[in-house]
Amino acid sequence: MINPLEQFRSRLRMRHLQLLFVLSEEGSLRKTAHIMALTQPAVTKALHELESLVGDALFTRTHKGLVANKLGEAAIRYAQLVFADLSGLHEEMTALQSGNLGTLRIGSMGSLVGGLLPRTLAQLTQRHPKLNITVVIDTSDVLLQALSLDQLDLVVARITDGWPTDELNFEAFDEEVIQIVARTGHPQQHNSEVTLETLARYPWVVQSQPAPLREIYQQIFRESQVQAPASQLETASTMLTVSLLQQTDMVALMPLSLVEYYSDLGVLAPLPVKVSARLMPFGLISRKGRVPTAAMEVVKAELRVQAGLEGTAGVTND
């Protein structure tokens, strides 16, 4: 039986968490003792203290060394979050002391690079020149994984199937309208009588599984009872998709925001076949239990403004 929470609060030490890290990576008490600059008996004693505190074993002895069991894996995961929050505290205090807002790591879906994301970043760099921002563009499932490991502070994406919503804060922004798109000047661009069956004769660029856009691609052909294109190229890269469309007669599905962006640039054009399906709402996602930093609050406020959910975020030039 796991011991009461009060014992965790009163007896758990940072050295216990550090021991979890090192031992999980090394799998050896001897190597762990060397890295932590302790004697092996001291490491053994600390491990016994930790397992006694928990009320059960955290590691299993195998021919390859000590391996974390399910309880150990859970303990290691939460230890990672503790150290990440401690690192965030140190970074924010250092930044505030020097007059900066610190650094924020934000992840975004590729479909937002033509609208919400650059608008937000442009305003932030103007209003908060001392705020450092790192941006990661990827699919929602990859971004959520990075968020869960505390490799990102905020994510603008969708909560995909399989992610436990009780571990995440989700603030919905909007659904996304979907359009079929091709290069400007495509043979079917101005054909008002074009059908999905006609477009199925062209090669398509499609998102890889399990992307929501891939599910919609399969759905529209299934519901229309049209044979899916024989020629498909799979990629999660928006840049590669646009480049392929621009240079060929290939066809793809894209969110309206991206279609409008590349259409304004004269690169892509929507094709006159309506898609009724919409992507599930995307929004602002953060990890529950994470104490928001000043940088996080500033970025969240600006994202809400640019998504049309709030009024002006104000001009600070801090």
CATH number of the domain at 5-79, please?
Answer: 1.10.10.10
Given the structure tokens 């030490």, which residue do they identify? 13
pLDDT of residue 99: 58
Q: Where are the beta strands (DSSP E) in the chain?
A: 59-62, 65-68, 102-108, 131-137, 154-157, 168-183, 204-206, 232-234, 251-255, 268-270, 278-287
Count other C-beta atoms under 10 Å from residue 145's C-beta. Answer: 15
pLDDT band of residue 154 (cuts 50, 70, 90) is: very high
Encoding tokens for residue 282? 């995307």
- 83-174+280-306 topology per CATH: D-Maltodextrin-Binding Protein; domain 2 (3.40.190)
Q: Is residue 115 over pLDDT 90?
A: no
pLDDT at site 212: 83
Report pLDDT for 162: 75
Burial (Cβ within 10 Å: 0-12, 13-18, ≥19) of residue 174: middle
Q: Which two tokens stand for residue 210?
A: 């399990």
Q: Which residue would you say has higher pLDDT here, 245 or 68?
A: 245
pLDDT digits (tens, 9 = 90+) for 281-315: 899 999 888 878 888 999 999 999 998 876 554 44
- Exposure class string for 158-170: b at 16+ Cβ within 10 A, else e: bbbeebeeeebeb
Task: Say what the pLDDT of residue 291 is.
Answer: 78
Q: Which of 295, 289, 287, 309 minimizes the C-alpha distance to 143? A: 287
What pLDDT is attached to residue 123? 94
Domain boundaries, the chain: 5-79, 83-174+280-306, 177-278
Q: Are both 83-174+280-306 and 177-278 of the same fold?
A: yes
177-278 homologous superfamily: Periplasmic binding protein-like II (3.40.190.10)
In whole angstroms, what is the distance from residue 56 CA to residue 199 CA?
A: 61
